[in-house]
Structure 1
Amino acid sequence: MSDLSSRLQAALARPGRPSSDYDLNEGISLPAGRVLRPAAVLVAFEDTPFGPQLYLTKRASHLKHHPGQIAFPGGKVDAGDRDPVAAALREAREEIGLPSENVQILGHLDPHETVTSFSMVPVLARITTPFRPALEPGEVDEVFTVPLHHIANPANFRLEGRRWRGTWRHYYAAPYGPYYIWGATARILRSLADRLTPS
């Protein structure tokens, strides 16, 4: 087992806590009977000469939802998907050309509830064989990597806020170079950082 796999699996073995797009905002009351649609994302790291790197995408600017935002490869669980893992692998194959046979699944973090009514499962994985990304232009403008040491440090996350639907919404942001990582992506990465650097 690689050092990267061991480190990520040790993080998964530590207790986590559920996260959502709402948990940094006091006073928000969610309806008890709300229906959440299943989704999954692939949180995939690769060992490189520069250390472990996380793959992220910049969503296409013409998309209806979250245009231009930084995201993991992923999307909704389709009827033909066996489970969230299968959905995350399929989406990564479609969006960035990552062959499923190049991926070692390590486990998953707690589901994340989004403001768009998805229950999103972050599937943690290691890319075992280098690949050449092939972007789906209808969904992805860019694919890039972020060092594990950047997102493993809770000090690199800051709490920010903006008005959304008439109220202030607070969220994590973890900028890296020209990339503004925020919202659900940053919240999931902060949950992983908490597990990677236990107190």
Structure 2
Amino acid sequence: MLPDCLSAEGERRCRQLLAGATARLRARPAAAAVLVPLCSVGGVPALLYTLRSSRLAGRHKGDVSFPGGKCDPADQDVVHTALRETREELGLAVPAERVWGVLRPVWDRHKATVVPVLAGVGPLDLHSLQPNPEEVDEVFTLPLAHLLETQNQGYTHFCKGGHFRYTLPVFLNGPHRVWGLTAIITEFTLQLLAPGTYQPRLAGTRLSGG
């Protein structure tokens, strides 16, 4: 059964669970920050994703991601980075009071720290967004119920030189495959929002940390 994470009680529970990590991590230096927008589409809880522009440079063009980007020296902290980048990429202004907290950081292949920031953005109409075509090709949502269905969950095993290296989650059967760091952050988010329903099958995954 999907918990009512959009209720005041659900929000309060999540904020309390993230409070310690948020206090430790929000002002800590990081390479980048992303916003994990928990929204409501037609009354259904969902997460908002973007499809990165195919015109971008680098290996992540055309990938599914959360809105976000590199931390700027002028940013106050990682929360400020995530909110600023979301506004620039999608035209979506999320008030700071809508931020629930900071999830466990992840690291890209270059060992750069990426900090996920969870926010409850409320009811959302995708047509009201103004995605920057230089950065975003598409915006879409996935209901939490979809992400929690086991047939939509998988894992990808990565090898190098014929030897196993690591395993990452992947979420399937939506408009686009969610994988890589975005899938890891999605997994952390589901652990927080639906602890009795979602149980990661990878050893050592936690929703927050230092």
TM-score range, shorter chain: 0.7 to 0.9
**Equivalent residue number for residue 74 of structure 2:** 80
Distance change >3 Å, CA 106–CA 115, structure 1 → 2: same
**Any idea what the Cα deviations from partners look like across 1:24-55, whole Å, max 9, x if unmatched?**
xxxxxxxxxxxx85211000112232411211
**Equivalent residue number for residue 41 of structure 2:** 48
In the TM superposition, what is the alpha-carbon distance from 1:4 to its structure 2 partner?
4.1
**Equivalent residue number for residue 91 of structure 1:** 85
Cα distance between partner residues in 1 of 2:184 and 2:15: 16
Match of 2:142 among 130, 146, 153: 146
**Equivalent residue number for residue 155 of structure 2:** 159
In the TM superposition, what is the alpha-carbon distance from 1:154 to its structure 2 partner?
6.5
Count of residues in Structure 1 that have an aligned counterpart in Structure 2: 179
Give the conservation status (yes or no) of the 8 Å contact 1:44–1:55.
yes
In the TM superposition, what is the alpha-carbon distance from 1:61 to its structure 2 partner?
1.0
RMSD over aligned CA atoms reads 2.8
Give the 3-state SS of the residue equivalent to 1:106 in structure 2. strand
1:133 equivalent in alignment to 2:129: yes
Unaligned runs of 5+ in 2: 22-28, 197-210
In the TM superposition, what is the alpha-carbon distance from 1:160 to its structure 2 partner?
1.2
Give the conservation status (yes or no) of the 8 Å contact 1:4–1:52.
no
In the TM superposition, what is the alpha-carbon distance from 1:196 to its structure 2 partner?
2.8
**Equivalent residue number for residue 171 of structure 1:** 168
Cα distance between partner residues in 2 of 1:68 and 1:88: 20
Which shifted more, 156-165 or 59-68? 156-165
Query: Residue type matched to 2:141 in 1?
Result: T
Distance change >3 Å, CA 11–CA 101, structure 1 → 2: closer
TM-score w.r.t. the length of structure 2 is 0.73
**Equivalent residue number for residue 71 of structure 1:** 65
**Any idea what the Cα deviations from partners look like across 1:136-174, whole Å, max 9, x if unmatched?**
111110011111223345664211134568765532100
Give the conservation status (yes or no) of the 8 Å contact 2:38–2:122.
no
1:187 equivalent in alignment to 2:181: no
TM-score w.r.t. the length of structure 1 is 0.77
Distance change >3 Å, CA 70–CA 78, structure 1 → 2: same
Which shifted more, 96-105 or 140-149? 96-105
